[in-house]
Structure 1
Amino acid sequence: MEWKNIYRGFLMGISDLIPGVSGGTIAFILGIYDRLLLAISGFFSREWKKHIGFLLPLGIGIGLTLLLFSRVIDFLLKDYPQPTQFFFLGLIIGVVPYISRQAGVQKNFKIWHFILLLIVGAALASTAFIKPAETGIITSLTAQNTIGLFLAGWAGSMAMLLPGVSGSFVLLLLGVYATAINALSTLNIPIIIVIGAGVIVGFIVSSRAIHFLLERFTHAMFAIIIGLILGSVFVIYPGIPESGTPFVMSVIALITGLIVANMFNSASAPTK
């Protein structure tokens, strides 16, 4: 068992609780993105035993974080929204040089790769202007909302594996984020099971698809990934903080995020 994956799962779990922050980006920062895709797709094959030692501790870390920190993240986003968002901005900006080195941008990218990067980045950035769906918190299941919550979990998990695309933000756009956070903080087991089932199915499908595309169209996929990460900066950016304490806290949070990203990038072995 790779028990150090518990802390990696902890970091990915925290990121997945925050709209605009991608667990896939955190996996890139930690240097485990390629292996994560391979392990998820391989777990549902005859070679599943080979991947259980990697995935189980990671899953434990993510699961514990979702259960234990949903209220903490909710508190931080309500009472200290800008410093919290600026910290994750620092993480996201800090990972771009690392991914660029992995992709060999200067050596491997052609003009059309940069065009693709800009198109994808602009498309994701434009979602910052989309008004999230306004729906009430679902606390009990019906036939209709069960299907809706399952599909929302599916869509959210597919986004979680793409660096730059936030699963929580997808849930927010679909009007399910408040329901998911409420279910986690109140341990509403039926709601958690339905959304969780959608997440698992989404992981299976999307991990295989992304891994296939990374192998067949490596440089194009890196262009898309960098575009998604850059575009997510505009989604997360909370605006210029007020002068005084909020401004100072936000600057410190941004710098801390950059330092943390650099620490992980320096410690991570190349995955490409």
Structure 2
Amino acid sequence: MEWRNIYRGILMGISDIVPGVSGGTIAVVLGIYQRLIEAINGVLSREWKKHFAFLIPLGVGVLFALFTLANAIDWLFEHYPNQIQFLFIGLIIGIIPMLLKKANVSSTFGATHYSLFVLAAILVASMAFFQEGVSDAITTFDARTYVLLFLSGWLASSAMILPGISGSMLLLIVGMYPTFTYVLGDVIIQGLIPLALGIGFGLLVMSKIIRYFLTHYFYQMYALIIGLVVGSVVVVYPGFQPSFILNIISVALIGVGIYVAVLLGKLEHQG
């Protein structure tokens, strides 16, 4: 068991709670993105033990964050939303140089790669216009609710492992985010089962698609990933507040986020 993955999972779980931030982005920050895709793909292979040894501690960390830190993150997001989002902006900005280096942009990128980068950035940035899609939580459970929860889990997990695309944001857009947090926060078992099935199905399907493109179109895929990450800055950006002090704190937190991203990158590389 790679128990170090517990803290990685906690960081990914925290990011998945906040609309606009992608767990896939945090996986890139931590340097485990490609391993994550390989592990999800490998759960049904002969080397399933090795992949489960990677995924189980990661899943423990994610679940710990979702079930025990969700209320704390919700509180911070409710009272200091700008500061939390500026911190994540710093994290996102901090990983961009690492991505550029990994893709060896100066030597490998051509017109096709830059086109993919621009299209991906515009696609994600455009999600900023749909952030108001909030509705009340569904608290009655019937066949329709189970189908919606399964599809919501599928949608969220598919986006979750794509850097730059927030599963929580997509749920917010389709109006299922309040139901998602209600089921998790109150541990509604009859809601958690279809949600978990949808998440598992989405992870398996999307990971296979991503793995195929990383294997056959590595640099094109990285152009897409960099575009998704850059575009997510627009989605996360909350604007400034009337309070000068809070704005100073927000700007300072960008620096903190950049520092943390660089530090995590170095620690993971040394590890």
C-alpha RMSD of matched pairs (Å):
1.3
SS at 2:133's partner residue?
coil
Kept in 2: contact 1:164–1:229 (CA 8 A): yes
Once structures 1 and 2 are overlaid, which stretch shifts more, 136-145 or 212-221? 136-145
Give deviations 1:228-257, integer Å, cap 9, x for gaps.
001100001001233332112212221111
Kept in 1: contact 2:131–2:169 (CA 8 A): no
Identify the residue that residue 64 of structure 1 maps to in structure 2: 64
User: Distance in 2 between the 1:168 and 1:247 partners?
Assistant: 25
Kept in 2: contact 1:42–1:48 (CA 8 A): yes
Paired residues, number: 270
Kept in 2: contact 1:163–1:225 (CA 8 A): yes
Identify the residue that residue 50 of structure 2 maps to in structure 1: 50
User: Distance in 1 between the 2:163 and 2:134 partners?
Assistant: 26
Amino acid corresponding to residue 249 of structure 1 in structure 2: I
Identify the residue that residue 130 of structure 1 maps to in structure 2: 130
Identify the residue that residue 185 of structure 2 maps to in structure 1: 185
Structure 2 residue 227 is matched with structure 1 residue 233: no
SS at 2:115's partner residue?
helix
SS at 1:100's partner residue?
helix
Kept in 1: contact 2:131–2:172 (CA 8 A): no
Amino acid corresponding to residue 145 of structure 1 in structure 2: T
Kept in 1: contact 2:152–2:171 (CA 8 A): yes
User: Distance in 1 between the 2:193 and 2:132 partners?
Assistant: 24
Deviation at 1:60, TM superposition (A): 0.4
User: Distance in 1 between the 2:33 and 2:245 partners?
Assistant: 36
Taking every aligned residue pair, what percent have the same amino acid on both sides? 44
SS at 2:162's partner residue?
coil
User: Distance in 2 between the 1:92 and 1:229 partners?
Assistant: 7
Give deviations 1:186-227, integer Å, cap 9, x for gaps.
222222222121111100111111011111011110011001
Kept in 2: contact 1:241–1:250 (CA 8 A): no
SS at 1:9's partner residue?
helix
Tell me the TM-score normalised to structure 2 length.
Answer: 0.96
Amino acid corresponding to residue 84 of structure 1 in structure 2: I
Deviation at 1:140, TM superposition (A): 2.6
Amino acid corresponding to residue 29 of structure 2 in structure 1: I
Once structures 1 and 2 are overlaid, which stretch shifts more, 163-172 or 189-198? 189-198
Give deviations 1:95-117, integer Å, cap 9, x for gaps.
11001100111110002211211
Deviation at 1:131, TM superposition (A): 4.7
Structure 2 residue 41 is matched with structure 1 residue 38: no
Identify the residue that residue 203 of structure 2 maps to in structure 1: 203
User: Distance in 2 between the 1:19 and 1:134 partners?
Assistant: 12
Kept in 2: contact 1:139–1:188 (CA 8 A): no
Tell me the TM-score normalised to structure 1 length.
Answer: 0.96
